[in-house]
Structure 1
Amino acid sequence: MTVISQATANSVATMFREHHGWLSSFISRRVSCPEAGADLAQDTYLRLLVSGRLPEPDDSRRYLTHIAKGLVIDLYRRRRIEAAYLAQLQLEPEPVAISPEARVQMVEALVEIDALLHRLPNQVRQALLLRQLEGLSYKDIAARMQVSVSSVEKYVARALQACLLTALEQELI
């Protein structure tokens, strides 16, 4: 549980009063949906509040913009992943009946996997995907990536270690 000081809460409340209307409009224009814009504006202030790192008053808009842009990117990434998942379901030979709850859980898991993969260096991510999704041997991956087999082994090991650490962190939460 995050403990928030009264001074931090007051500063965020002041920023909210001064910038909320502008921030909601800023985000809504980017997501083309006033409801999503309002949600992301709230999430922006929540992130600010939880982080406890407040900008100088003159930098408030720039700081809020920075947080909001990250949230907008996350929203688009989530939408892209959800669309890909739904498209994949349509390719199934029989209609797959999935509950709304299971769908949300699946999309959330895919978003987490996507975020994990994008935190990995490009070569590490590429080696893992070639191994896991295309089933290529280390030798074939090495040839495709134009690196040594030893490098591929290290890349895959590093990627799997990152996945394991993430899984352990999730278990502890």
Structure 2
Amino acid sequence: MTASPGTAGSDLENLYRAHHGWIRQWLQRKLGNAHDAAELAQDVFVRLLSKPRSFNDAEHAKAYLGRVSRNACVDFWRRRRIEQAYMEVLAAQPEQLLPSLEHQAIILETLAQLQAMIDRMPKRVAQAFCLAQLQGMKQREIAVQLKVSERSVNNYLAQAMYQCLLLEVELDASL
């Protein structure tokens, strides 16, 4: 299953034929919804199409597709939680203050990207970032809360800001 430039398309087609069915069924059991499962199964192969991979054998391919499927499922549930929380906030707003549907979609996408960024951060970095940004705590207060030095908090926040800059570059590149 090692792909060469000239056969990448046929390899992907073979992978799709061999594995799409069980991926869709597995996702349907996890999600309890055939429509979402079919969409995520397609996303698994779109991810493979956007970042082609070479596989040593069928077992390696199946393991990789299984991992991508699990990750897609986790991303799906994470996004659903974000959407649910956002919809609850919107429901509490007066109708005249509601953003347009387009603006809502942009906000949801941004929230999902922020959550993914925070999830990629080391635990302490994410905690310090959230305490500073969401609760408005000062570095000294964060240090007391996390039981670390202010210098450590400073380092954590620098790491978090670096991740924010990477996300900003990623967002700018997608526009």
TM-score when scaled to structure 2?
0.88
Q: Which has the higher contact order (CA 8 A, sep 6+)?
A: 2
CA contact (8 A) 1:8 1:49 kept: no
> Which range is displaced more, 157-166 or 32-41?
157-166
Mapping for residues 90-105 of structure 1, pairs under 5 Å: 90-92=91-93, 94-95=94-95, 96-105=97-106
Asked if 1:144 is matched to 2:145, the reply is yes
CA RMSD for the aligned pairs?
1.7
Q: Which residue of 1 aligns with 2:12?
A: 12
CA contact (8 A) 1:48 1:54 kept: no
CA contact (8 A) 1:141 1:152 kept: yes
TM-score when scaled to structure 1?
0.89
Unaligned runs of 5+ in 1: none
Aligned residues: 169
Mapping for residues 122-141 of structure 1, pairs under 5 Å: 122-141=123-142
Unaligned runs of 5+ in 2: none
1:85-112, Cα deviation, whole Å (9 max, x unpaired): 11122333x2342322222111110000
**1:155 to partner: Cα distance:** 1.2
Runs of 4+ in structure 1 deviating by more than 4 angstroms, as ranges, are: none
- 3-state SS in 2 of match to 1:52: coil
Give percent identity, aligned residues only: 32
Equivalent AA in structure 2 for residue 73 of structure 1: V
User: Quick one: structure 1 residues 118 and 21, their matched pair in 2 at CA, closer, same or farther if it must change by over 3 Å?
Assistant: same
Q: Which residue of 2 aligns with 1:66?
A: 67
